[in-house]
């Protein structure tokens, strides 16, 4: 994510393919948190125990796949959804939860049999007809409808989730926990899954989602669009956009289908920043390795002009930035930031929201890499210039690994984390740093991982214990001076 401030959005210093298995846990992070008592009683926990997003995610199972069918033909904005969730029980279950805010639930089945269900705030409590054994694969089908009610996020001061523009076009921005506004799910980044979307819309309306277009066909008096994301994805990275959009084919670049989804009302002359996408991908791939997904592109929507988001394979930016709200070069830099997240955040996803510095630190460092590519300031120059501000942010917000719910998207997590990444590069040297990136993306690609995972791998690559480095750069309330550039 990138948040705009004062019209300057680059550098973050000025801001307040292989298909892997869908199991998303690592040795140091688990997708479920249950109390001994609730586990013994066969009740899945109501959340995963993340203090930065209480109530998010669910215990007792690991989602493998979401098959999401959405009928969005109602002009009032009401949608009808059938969500088929395939999961593996990680404990014996006689009851479990899914996250769902608002919406009217009409039916729930488990393995084809009617299940009891009730609502407690944003928790859908489900009791199957027969208990589920630990290790069992099961399928939950939830039918529901209504106008999605956005979730107000305190860290952004914005509504998130399934959103609708004044013109009636929809789009999704869910970080950190807005997916529950329209998707019955385990809404936490520790539980990634594959997705298929079946979108039924009025004929003449465009419907897009993450992944690849599998089918577009007439369906009665409407049109059905089917999209499939074969690589595991966190719920906050889901994108569904329906409305007066144009799908722009920008060709194949290094085996990646580059396509943009743009409001038809946006003039061609205002779309110039999109032309840099292939060059950005080449620049980032030269350092990070092969782009991890089959497609890449930008969704230009009438979304709030305060932030952009790295929704998987199709990052979203507000149309106002293309209409003059931001200079073209700064919009391009934001595109570079969000595309960098496809590696850091989307391919390797934080297991807890306190790990978000890994997302934003690497995406900020990627902005500096892009700047260096353009000859507009080297990584060293950009990091050194940011360091004094990073010192101030660290004193104001504390360690980058300990944000609170209101400082989750503070500059400490962006430019402040970017200088940590650069300090690590200077400490390791380019050869070991590049090896670290390769190993990180290879070992944890398609999964969720923790700061502890990253520290352990960095020490392994360095051939020595880096605890002292990480204590100083991640967990202190003051920053050391930048190491000398090599």
Tens digit of each residue's pLDDT (9 = 90 or more) over 195-215: 999 999 999 999 999 999 999
Could you tell me if residue 336 is inside a domain? no
Could you tell me if residue 397 is inside a domain? yes
Confidence band of 35 (pLDDT split at 50, 70, 90)? low
* Residue 232 CB coordination number (10 Å): 27
pLDDT at 24 over 90: no
Task: With 0.75 as the threshold, say if the pTM is over it.
Answer: yes
Q: What is the pLDDT of residue 312?
A: 98
pLDDT at 485 over 50: yes
Specify the CATH number for the domain of residue 469. 1.10.390.10
Could you tell me if residue 463 is inside a domain? yes
pLDDT at 254 over 70: yes
Structural domain that includes position 376: 348-473
* 194 vs 11, residue with greater confidence: 194
Q: What is the pLDDT of residue 21?
A: 36
pLDDT at 473 over 50: yes
Could you tell me if residue 451 is inside a domain? yes
Q: What is the pLDDT of residue 3?
A: 80
Could you tell me if residue 152 is inside a domain? no
Could you tell me if residue 438 is inside a domain? yes
Confidence band of 4 (pLDDT split at 50, 70, 90)? low
d(CA 335, CA 349): 19
Q: What is the pLDDT of residue 28?
A: 40
Q: What is the pLDDT of residue 37?
A: 65
Number of folded domains that form the chain: 1
For 338-394, write each residue's pLDDT tens digit: 999 999 999 999 999 999 999 999 999 999 999 999 999 999 999 999 999 999 999
Could you tell me if residue 212 is inside a domain? no
Averaged pLDDT of the chain: 93
Q: What is the pLDDT of residue 23?
A: 38
């Amino acid at each position: 994510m990138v948040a705009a401030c004062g019209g300057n959005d680059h550098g973050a210093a000025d801001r307040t393919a292989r298909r892997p298995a869908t199991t998303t846990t690592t040795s140091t992070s688990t997708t479920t948190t249950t109390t001994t008592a609730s586990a013994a009683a066969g009740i899945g926990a109501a959340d995963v125990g993340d203090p930065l997003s209480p109530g998010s995610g669910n215990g007792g199972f690991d989602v493998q796949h979401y098959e999401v069918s959405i009928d969005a033909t109602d002009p009032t904005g009401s949608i009808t959804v059938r969500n088929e969730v395939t999961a593996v029980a990680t404990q014996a279950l006689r009851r479990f939860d899914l996250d769902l805010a608002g919406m009217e639930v009409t039916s729930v089945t488990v393995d084809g049999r009617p299940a009891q269900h009730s609502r407690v705030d944003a928790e859908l409590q489900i009791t199957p007809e027969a208990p589920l054994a630990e290790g069992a694969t099961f399928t939950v089908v939830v039918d529901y409808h209504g106008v999605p009610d956005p979730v107000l996020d305190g860290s952004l001061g914005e509504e998130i989730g399934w959103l609708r523009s004044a013109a009636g076009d929809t789009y999704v921005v869910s970080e950190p926990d807005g997916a529950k506004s329209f998707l019955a799910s385990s809404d936490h980044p520790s539980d990634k899954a594959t997705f298929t979307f079946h979108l039924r819309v009025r004929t003449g309306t465009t419907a897009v989602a993450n992944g690849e277009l599998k089918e577009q066909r007439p369906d009665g008096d409407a049109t059905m669009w089917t999209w499939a994301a074969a690589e595991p994805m966190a719920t906050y990275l889901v994108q569904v956009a329906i409305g007066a959009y144009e799908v722009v084919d920008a060709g194949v670049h290094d085996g990646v289908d580059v396509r943009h989804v743009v409001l038809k009302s946006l003039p061609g002359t205002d779309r110039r920043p999109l032309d840099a996408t292939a060059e950005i991908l080449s620049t980032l791939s030269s350092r990070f390795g092969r782009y991890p997904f089959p497609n890449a592109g930008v969704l230009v929507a009438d979304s709030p002009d305060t932030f952009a988001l790295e929704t998987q394979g199709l990052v979203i930016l507000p149309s106002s930035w293309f209409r003059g709200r931001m200079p073209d070069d700064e919009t391009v830099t934001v595109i570079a930031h969000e595309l960098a997240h496809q590696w850091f955040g989307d391919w390797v996803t934080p297991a807890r929201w306190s790990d978000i510095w890994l997302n934003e630190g690497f995406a900020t460092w990627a902005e500096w890499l892009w700047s260096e590519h353009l000859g507009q300031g080297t990584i060293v120059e950009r990091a050194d210039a940011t360091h004094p501000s990073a010192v101030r942010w660290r004193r104001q917000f504390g360690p980058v690994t300990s944000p609170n719910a209101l400082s989750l998207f503070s500059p400490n997590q962006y430019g402040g984390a970017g200088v940590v990444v650069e300090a690590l590069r200077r400490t390791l040297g380019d050869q070991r740093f590049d090896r670290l990136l390769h190993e990180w993306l290879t070992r944890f690609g398609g999964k969720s991982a923790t700061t502890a995972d990253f520290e352990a791998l960095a020490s392994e690559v360095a051939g020595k214990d880096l605890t002292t480095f990480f204590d100083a750069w991640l967990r202190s309330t003051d920053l050391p001076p930048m190491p000398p550039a090599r």
